[in-house]
Structure 1
């Protein structure tokens, strides 16, 4: 017994002597956070801009998992309570799915140092907006006149230069809903849009996957399409002749949002990551080429190519109820792909 006590005493003494060194090492070691991120431009932007800012300001290392929104939802659902990442990045449809399935920690916006720089509508009990999206019509001003709205796309001279895509993205879904509304449909009834598209399908210039549309426009295979301002600005930066038109029924607005995954073991680092993303310096950097994000921080001046001078103006833009859209969207995607392929 005495030997055992002696060993305990020795171990305790060694731990006491080592504690200051361990504490110093822990203070110097960076925390880490793993964030799901959209592949492509988003991943590149966050790697080049957010990651170094997070390390510099908060001493937090950013690891990223490139995943589209539906893949984030699916991967979390398959994780059986062990989240594969700490933060989601989602558009409105998948965001609602995550809320309904209990995939997020409750969000406390007061933990963000930059909270007062965000419009009130951007933060709620589930997360916070990190980028604004504005959707309307893009056109080549050297090839076609400026369209006044979605109905013009089905007439000459626009219809023969029209490029369309389906419901696979948020911008595609909201555009087709707005087209349906012009022809008598609604947020949940897209039959009029599909009927009108079928009538003109032999005449339109291109049908493409969402990711292919900027390339088709740049190559001149189409000269008018529904899209977001980020795509328009990016193509203009490349020297493409392109302008953004706000439809007479109004531009559509939505926000891409960040959420902390339920069960995350890096809550503090996750808040620091989110706070860094919405900070003035990072938002300014993300707005610049080649990324062209629409900032959500009110202290950042909006770019000249946007159809509003302040984020407050987005309150009058068209929005949609994704709790109603989500149950229908899968069938819409399948039907568009089946009926509109050329």
Structure 2
């Protein structure tokens, strides 16, 4: 592992802030964000500062998730003469509320929204369009993580890091090989009954049913939503022990569950902490699962535009990007970092760098008209669980 300031442990603590935000209920968030934007009054904002060519501002304001960047990378960037000030938010709703209330006068330059929120932010004038000519390292990003459905052409954003969802199971307790969401449901209602953990996320939980039944996980069809509600509440929920998006990090080493829906990087944390990792298997289930992505973007009215582009471009350099992977435990999507991981004897690389055929069948979650119903279904499941 690369040397770095003694800020915190590498993986187990690294994802704590990140994971807790993934546990937020997306339905509540999107409703809240929409309300905030509707209530905010529009203001003119102020123009970015102008500097002579070749001169970069000496300050940069970044608004991001807490503890989400390698301090060694930030320290190295600051050697350019630009100091970096980080403020943290706890949810996309909080980010949108801040930017929506200030309308171009927030004082922030670089922000880190989750990709699925880019449409609502761009439609409401909260983020700047990117000038790709100022991102010389954009070509370092693997095409698999460019041109996502929520930001065609990377008009407003570029990948900061990404992950997906699958499940981990104890091979000593569950016989046979599980490969699909249908297998997950069969085990959850059978051999693993009472020892199952699901994520605290309406879309993620509902997508298990949709994927297992060949339905688009982003469906808004009322019949699909009703069928999912019926199955998840009345058939699956009674077998569920917990809804906890961080369960796998302790669930594997402490063996508190035998079957856990989990984010890939978090499952790696659990295996790193286990005395018997060979007894566990993580599955990238067929036919599909979520491809979530956090992004670099520039806030509307950013004052330190040169520094903002320089910072994002710096983060897309392969060696810098690898240090980010090593720190946060998730892939940044930059080409070649999997090879750097091998060179640095990175543990369980397959849980951070899945095969291309896995990535190609993933489905990015969308914030759509089904969000409210999915929240209701999850709440009903929580009330029914263990009964």
TM over 0.5: yes
Question: Using a 3 Å threshold, how does the CA distance of structure 1 residues 310 and 140 change in structure 2: closer, same or farther?
Answer: closer
The CA distance in 2 between the partners of 1:272 and 1:314, in whole Å, is 33
| Counterpart selection for 1:180 from 210, 214, 233 | 210
Question: Using a 3 Å threshold, how does the CA distance of structure 1 residues 300 and 165 change in structure 2: closer, same or farther?
Answer: closer
Query: Aligned residue for 1:297?
Result: 334
| Counterpart selection for 2:168 from 138, 156, 165 | 138
Query: Aligned residue for 1:117?
Result: 140
Secondary structure at 1:139 match in 2? strand
The CA distance in 2 between the partners of 1:327 and 1:213, in whole Å, is 30
TM-score (norm 2): 0.69
Deviations 1:125-180 (A, max 9, x none): 11111112122222233433442211222222234321012326xxxx24532422
| Counterpart selection for 1:328 from 370, 376, 379 | 370
The CA distance in 2 between the partners of 1:279 and 1:310, in whole Å, is 21
Give the C-alpha shift of residue 310 in structure 1: 7.7
Query: Which 4+ residue blocks in structure 1 deviate beyond 6 angstroms?
Result: 307-311
The CA distance in 1 between the partners of 2:112 and 2:360, in whole Å, is 25
Contact 2:291–2:365, Cα closer than 8 Å, also in 1: no
Question: Using a 3 Å threshold, how does the CA distance of structure 1 residues 245 and 184 change in structure 2: closer, same or farther?
Answer: closer
The CA distance in 1 between the partners of 2:355 and 2:119, in whole Å, is 23
Query: Aligned residue for 2:309?
Result: 271
Query: Aligned residue for 1:107?
Result: 130
Question: Using a 3 Å threshold, how does the CA distance of structure 1 residues 101 and 327 change in structure 2: closer, same or farther?
Answer: farther
| Counterpart selection for 2:109 from 49, 72, 86 | 86
Report the structure number with the largest CA radius of gyration.
1
Matches within 5 A, 1:188-207: 188=219, 189-198=224-233, 199-207=235-243
Query: Aligned residue for 1:36?
Result: 63
Question: Using a 3 Å threshold, how does the CA distance of structure 1 residues 293 and 307 change in structure 2: closer, same or farther?
Answer: closer
The CA distance in 2 between the partners of 1:70 and 1:318, in whole Å, is 25
Matched residue count? 302
The CA distance in 1 between the partners of 2:359 and 2:215, in whole Å, is 23
The CA distance in 2 between the partners of 1:321 and 1:153, in whole Å, is 20
Give the C-alpha shift of residue 100 in structure 1: 2.2
Q: List runs of 5+ in structure 2 lacking aligned partners.
A: 1-54, 148-153, 342-347
The CA distance in 2 between the partners of 1:215 and 1:244, in whole Å, is 15
Question: Using a 3 Å threshold, how does the CA distance of structure 1 residues 327 and 35 change in structure 2: closer, same or farther?
Answer: farther
Question: Using a 3 Å threshold, how does the CA distance of structure 1 residues 114 and 161 change in structure 2: closer, same or farther?
Answer: same
Secondary structure at 2:370 match in 1? helix
Query: Aligned residue for 1:225?
Result: 260
Query: Aligned residue for 2:321?
Result: 283
Question: Using a 3 Å threshold, how does the CA distance of structure 1 residues 233 and 50 change in structure 2: closer, same or farther?
Answer: same
Q: List runs of 5+ in structure 1 lacking aligned partners.
A: 1-26
Deviations 1:194-251 (A, max 9, x none): 322221322222223x345534454333222222211111222222634321213145
Deviates more, 1:100-109 or 1:218-227: 218-227
The CA distance in 2 between the partners of 1:182 and 1:133, in whole Å, is 20
Give the C-alpha shift of residue 107 in structure 1: 0.3
Query: Aligned residue for 2:118?
Result: 95
The CA distance in 2 between the partners of 1:251 and 1:306, in whole Å, is 16
Query: Aligned residue for 1:65?
Result: 87
Question: Using a 3 Å threshold, how does the CA distance of structure 1 residues 147 and 190 change in structure 2: closer, same or farther?
Answer: farther
Contact 2:181–2:211, Cα closer than 8 Å, also in 1: no
Query: Aligned residue for 1:318?
Result: 362
- Tell which has more relative contact order, 1 or 2 (C-alpha 8 A, sep 6+): 2
Question: Using a 3 Å threshold, how does the CA distance of structure 1 residues 166 and 310 change in structure 2: closer, same or farther?
Answer: closer
Give the C-alpha shift of residue 46 in structure 1: 1.2
Secondary structure at 1:206 match in 2? strand
Matches within 5 A, 1:146-161: 146-155=177-186, 156-161=190-195
